[in-house]
């Protein structure tokens, strides 16, 4: 049992959700692959487990750990980030409306546009960096105000506390996708959000080897009960092994985030001074339009950045074709640095500038990454 006093996040990352196995003394957790659990002689389930879709020891551990890291009352884990997003919206009813940012993760927009629209849950996508736009876009039936900050791929930041207050004064709930920041750098529940969502696929898993999602709720209330119902009845649950993999990565999360931030800061500064780069999007740069708000609500600026190469798509593709340490791939949050031409993955409707490359800065030495970009930029 952890001491009752408030623990710091590094300690929680190591211990929350973990316990020494009572039966064997094993210091690390076993992986409980069993799908079904023994009933008592009287038909009860005194040990708390019945069937693995409902509850599993590895999933319980992960949910407890994530709830502790985000400072919430309860957590629910899912088989992917978008399964977590879907379960949140499954708590809505026909006629409800979601207010979402225009530069939302395209997968979340797909869930709203292609799955929920036909059940008459509507959504509008607006510029949430302007609080007046947020106020003016609320409808009587707005049930959720969705935030994603920093955003993808322009790293725009929105004022979480101010938007949560606007949502609440309107009777709507405020929910933040905290994937880019991680609970180490930003805590949306403490800033007033009702729920926080993660693609654990990214920084929490941290190794590009497990897909997962999670939601943490500030209160163990009726909305969390609806989410639990979507998880149990809908069944989009993560496997015990996947839960174990994410748990295995959590203790290093605070230190990985420090290193991701330090490396990204150096690379952003290098890119900003390069003659072939026309723009760098990173809230850690003092000149960045979102530097002030990011400084207020984040304890570090993260490992994600994007930049625009002079010469548009051809120059950007030539740069990406010539990297040796960076890997050309989508996704983020792993130990290895990734580089990606966003417009071509987002498809023909994408509004992302054609010269833009998004970078997930990994844990290699910053100077090696800068040397790699220097060489690749000579081809751009």
Ligand X SMILES: *Cc1c(COP(=O)(O)O)cnc(C)c1O
Q: Which residues are catalytic?
A: 53, 105, 177, 202
Report the residue number, 80 or 217, with the smaller CB distance to ligand X: 80
Q: Minimum CB separation from ligand X for residue 113, in Å?
A: 15
Q: Minimum CB separation from ligand X for residue 27, in Å?
A: 29
> Helices then strands (H, E): number in the chain?
14, 12
Report the residue number, 152 or 337, with the smaller CB distance to ligand X: 152
Nearest Cα residue to 335 out of 368, 365, 357: 365
Return the SS3 of 199.
strand
Q: Minimum CB separation from ligand X for residue 81, in Å?
A: 2
- List contacts with ligand X (CB under 6 A): 80-82, 105, 107-108, 148, 152, 177, 179-180, 199, 201-202, 211, 213
Question: In this structure, are residues 339 and 312 in contact, taking their beta carbons and an 8 Å threshold?
Answer: no
Give CA angle at 75 (179, 4), nearest 5°.
110
Report the residue number, 108 or 186, with the smaller CB distance to ligand X: 108
Provide the terminal-to-terminal Cα distance of the chain, rounded to the nearest Å: 56
Q: Minimum CB separation from ligand X for residue 198, in Å?
A: 8
Question: In this structure, are residues 63 and 231 in contact, taking their beta carbons and an 8 Å threshold?
Answer: no
Q: Which residues, at least 6 apart from 250, have a Cβ–Cβ distance to it below 8 Å?
A: 13, 14, 17, 65, 69, 204
d(CA 173, CA 166): 10
Question: In this structure, are residues 188 and 172 in contact, taking their beta carbons and an 8 Å threshold?
Answer: no
Report the residue number, 277 or 294, with the smaller CB distance to ligand X: 294
Report the residue number, 148 or 194, with the smaller CB distance to ligand X: 148
Q: Minimum CB separation from ligand X for residue 239, in Å?
A: 14
d(CA 149, CA 104): 9
């Amino acid at each position: 049992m952890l001491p009752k006093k408030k623990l710091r996040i590094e300690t929680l990352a190591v211990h929350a959700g973990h316990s020494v196995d009572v039966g064997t003394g094993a210091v690390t957790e076993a992986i409980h692959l069993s799908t079904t659990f023994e009933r008592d002689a009287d038909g009860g389930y005194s040990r708390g487990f019945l069937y693995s879709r409902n509850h599993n020891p590895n999933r319980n551990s992960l949910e407890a750990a994530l709830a502790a890291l985000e400072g919430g009352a309860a957590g629910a884990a899912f088989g992917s980030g978008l399964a977590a997003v879907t379960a949140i919206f499954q708590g809505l009813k026909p006629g409800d409306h979601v207010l979402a940012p225009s530069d939302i993760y395209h997968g979340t927009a797909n869930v709203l546009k292609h799955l929920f629209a036909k059940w008459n849950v509507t959504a509008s996508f607006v510029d949430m960096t302007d609080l007046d736009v947020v106020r003016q876009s609320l409808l009587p039936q707005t049930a959720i105000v969705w935030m994603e900050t920093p955003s993808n791929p322009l790293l725009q930041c929105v004022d979480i506390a101010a938007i949560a207050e606007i949502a609440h004064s309107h009777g709507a709930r405020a929910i933040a996708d905290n994937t880019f920041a991680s609970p180490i750098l930003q805590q949306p529940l403490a800033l007033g959000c009702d729920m926080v969502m993660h693609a654990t696929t990214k920084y929490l898993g941290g190794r590009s080897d497990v897909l997962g999602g999670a939601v943490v709720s500030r209160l163990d209330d009726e909305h969390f009960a609806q989410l639990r119902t979507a998880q149990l009845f809908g069944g989009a649950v993560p496997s015990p092994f996947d839960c174990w993999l994410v748990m295995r990565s959590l203790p290093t999360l605070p230190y990985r985030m420090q290193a991701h931030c330090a490396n990204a800061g150096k690379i952003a500064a290098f890119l900003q001074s390069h003659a072939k780069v026309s723009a760098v999007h990173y809230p850690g740069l003092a000149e960045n339009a979102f530097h002030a708000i990011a400084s207020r609500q984040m304890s570090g600026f993260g490992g994600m950045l994007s930049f625009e190469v002079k010469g548009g798509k051809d120059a950007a593709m030539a740069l990406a074709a010539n990297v040796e340490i960076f890997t050309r791939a989508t996704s983020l949050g792993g130990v290895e640095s990734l580089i990606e031409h966003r417009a071509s993955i987002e498809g023909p409707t994408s509004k992302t500038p054609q010269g833009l490359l998004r970078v997930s800065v990994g844990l290699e030495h910053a100077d090696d990454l800068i040397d790699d970009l220097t060489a690749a930029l000579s081809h751009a």
